């Protein structure tokens, strides 16, 4: 497995997330969309729905889904509304001894 520097590891995770979502029929509309002081990692289209996707990349094996606290969820929801997204998804990419693992949580609670 290739070693990634901290600055590029997150970018690598976002590329993997795009590939993963496209493989499930979700169309990537834009990446790294600036919204006010925040950013949406991926804006996608799932059928008629616009989706704001948060990507979490982590070194090591996939255990518990990387927690999104209430503050981060509120920020994600504000950003999603700014681009007229109807839902927020979370994709966790883990690169560890078990290879690359991906966990997708669709439609996080508003």
Per the domain annotation, does 48 fall within a domain? yes
Does residue 46 sit within a domain?
yes
- Distances, alpha carbon 63 to alpha carbons 12, 89, 103, in Å: 20, 18, 10
How confident is the model at residue 71, as a pLDDT? 86
pTM metric for this prediction? 0.84
- Point out the residues of the chain with pLDDT beneath 70: 1-7, 63-67, 108-110
Residue 34 lies in a domain: yes
The domain containing residue 10 runs over which residues? Answer: 6-105
Q: Please count the other Cβ atoms lying within 10 Å of the Cβ belonging to residue 81.
A: 14
- Per the domain annotation, does 110 fall within a domain? no
1 domain residue, yes or no: no
- The CATH number of the domain where 90 resides is what? 3.40.1350.10
pLDDT of residue 99: 86
What confidence score (pLDDT) does residue 1 get? 39
Q: Does a structural domain hold residue 52?
A: yes
Write out pLDDT tens, residues 12-26. Answer: 899 999 999 999 999
| Paired tokens of 106 | 């669709």
The count of structural domains within the chain is 1
């Amino acid at each position: 497995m290739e070693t990634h520097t901290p600055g590029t590891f997150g970018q690598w995770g976002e590329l993997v997330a795009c590939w993963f979502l496209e493989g499930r029929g979700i169309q990537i509309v834009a990446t790294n969309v600036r919204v006010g002081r925040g950013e949406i990692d991926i804006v996608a289209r799932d059928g008629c729905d616009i989706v704001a996707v948060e990507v979490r990349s982590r070194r090591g094996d996939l255990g518990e889904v990387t927690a999104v606290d209430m503050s981060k969820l509120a920020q994600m929801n504000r950003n999603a509304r700014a681009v007229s997204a109807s839902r927020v998804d979370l994709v966790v990419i883990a690169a560890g001894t078990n290879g690359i693992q991906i966990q997708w949580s669709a439609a996080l609670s508003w």
